[in-house]
Amino acid sequence: MSFSERSGSPTVDPGPAVDEPLAAKVIAALRRGGAFLVVGAIGFLVDAGTYNLLVFWGGEGVLYHAPLPAKIIAIAVATVVTYFGNKWWTFAHKKSDNPGREYLLYAVFNVVAIGLQLGCLGFSRYVLDLSSPLSDNISGTLIGQIVAVVFRYWAYDKFVFVDSANQSANDEQHK
C-alpha cells in the first residue's frame, strides 16, 4: 500500500512516461555516430597496417606475392577490432545474450557493405565508363565508403546490437 493510499490522499496518475527531449536524442545520436566513426577509423588503420605489414614489411613481406589473401586477413583482423569497439563503445547501451548471433550478423553485414562499395566502383567503371584514378577514388572510396558506413550504422543498430528485451519483444510480435 502506498503512502497516498494509507493517508487517504488521491493518487495522481502521471500518465504515459514523458519521452526524452529531442535535444537529448540528437546529442545521444551524435555521440553514437561519433563513436562509430572513431571505431571505423581505427578499423581502417588496423586494416591498412595489417595489410602493409603482411605485404611490404622489410621490402617484401611474408605475403608479398599473395596480396589478396593478405587483404582478406587484414579485413578479418579489422572486423574483429571494430566488432569489439562497436559492441563495447558505440552500442554499449544495448545488451545482448547471444554474442555468436551478433558476430555472425556483424560479419554478414560487413560483407554486404563491401559489396555496396564495390557496386559503386563497378557502376562508375562499367556503366559510366570512368576509369581515372580520380573517378575510382570518388566512386569507390568516397561515395562507396559513405554508402557503406550509413548502411553499417543502420544495420548494426537495427539487427546486430539489439537489446535482449527488444529482441524478445520483436520475436513475440512475429509469432
CA distances from 8 to 11, 12, 13, 14, 15 (A): 9, 12, 15, 18, 21
What would the pLDDT profile of 76-102 be if each residue is shown by its tens digit?
Answer: 899 899 999 989 998 888 888 888 898
Length of the chain: 175
The whole-number pLDDT of residue 68 equals 84
Beta carbons of 139 and 123 less than 8 angstroms apart? yes
What would the pLDDT profile of 26-77 be if each residue is shown by its tens digit?
Answer: 998 899 889 989 999 999 899 889 988 998 998 888 998 888 888 889 888 9
